[in-house]
Each structure stands twice: as structure tokens, then as C-alpha cells.
Structure 1
Amino acid sequence: MKKMEKVLAKAVNGREIVVSLVASKKMQNTREGFKWVEVGKHVLLECGQEIELNVDGRSFYTDIHEMFRLPHRVN
């Protein structure tokens, strides 16, 4: 199951949406075998769509020219 953290994201035009931050996990090969490691975060919208964060780790696009910012940088 994915752990989620709810956050309020704001757009430049003043629009606000509540989104969830979901850990992005990938399989890594180790000497002991394969294990799951967290490699970043995705944004989960209320409609169920997962979106990747931009390189700055703080903003994301829901559509063309619709950028939202999170209040803090996501590690």
C-alpha cells in the first residue's frame, strides 16, 4: 500500500487544490536479492491521476499552462 501525505497546492491565478504526495518506488538489485527503494515522489490528484513533480521538486503541471506549486520542496 502507498503512504500518502495531503498537501494544498496553489496556482498563480489563485486556484487551490488538495493533492496527495505518493512515494515512487523502484526495484533495486542488491547482493541479497531485489528490494524496493523510494526514488522520489508523485502527486496524486483527487481524480486518481498520478503526475510527476518538476525538476525543482516543488511544482507540477495538471494541464498545459496550469502549473501548481507546493508550499515546500519535496525530497
Structure 2
Amino acid sequence: MLKNLNNSYVATAVNGGEINVKLIPLQRKQSSLNGFIMVDVGQMVELESGEIFPLNIDGKSFYTGINQLYRL
């Protein structure tokens, strides 16, 4: 379930636990005629504690540890 709370989202675990997260851009360097530029290639999840985790391929879920799956 995706709930937006002022650029903050609530991620729900399978066991019913909820955490507040923020989506941040995943950037990579790309060369151009004028040198290197940063390009957005996806998104990552930032927890309230400051930890950053990559989103899974589906773009709606992420793992915070072994068997700890959260969905946006």
C-alpha cells in the first residue's frame, strides 16, 4: 500500500509492521561531450535512521535484511 506523507511513504512488511521511508534517486556517471554528468537510473529507499536500500526490480518492494521484505 503506497501512502504519501509529504515525500515520505509508509512501507508495510508481510507481518504487518510499518516503517516510514523516503524515495531518493539512484544516480550514475555518464560521459558526455562536456565531461561527466550524473543521470538518474532508478530509485533507492532511505529509512528514518538514514540507512539506504535499493528497490527490487518490481520498483515497489525492498529488503532490509534476510527475510525482511517491505512493500510500498
TM-score, structure 1 as length reference: 0.81
Moved over 2 A (4+): none
Structure 1 regions of 5+ residues with no counterpart?
Answer: 71-75
Candidates 18, 37, 40, aligned match of 1:35: 37
Give the aligned partner of residue 49 of structure 1.
51
Q: What is the SS of the residue equivalent to 2:8? A: strand
Amino acid at match of 2:65: D
Give structure 2 stretches of 5+ with no counterpart. Answer: 1-6
| TM-score, length-scaled by structure 2 | 0.84
Letter in 1 for 2:67: H
TM-align CA RMSD: 1.0
Given residue 66 of structure 1, which amino acid in structure 2 is its aligned partner? Q
Q: Determine the structure 2 residue equivalent to 1:17.
A: 19
SS at match of 1:37: strand
User: Normalized per residue, which structure has more strand?
Assistant: 1
One-letter identity of the residue aligned with 1:6: S
Query: What CA distance in whole angstroms lies between the structure 1 residues aligned with 2:48 and 2:34?
Result: 38
Shift of 1:32: 2.4
Q: What percentage of aligned pairs have identical amino acids?
A: 45
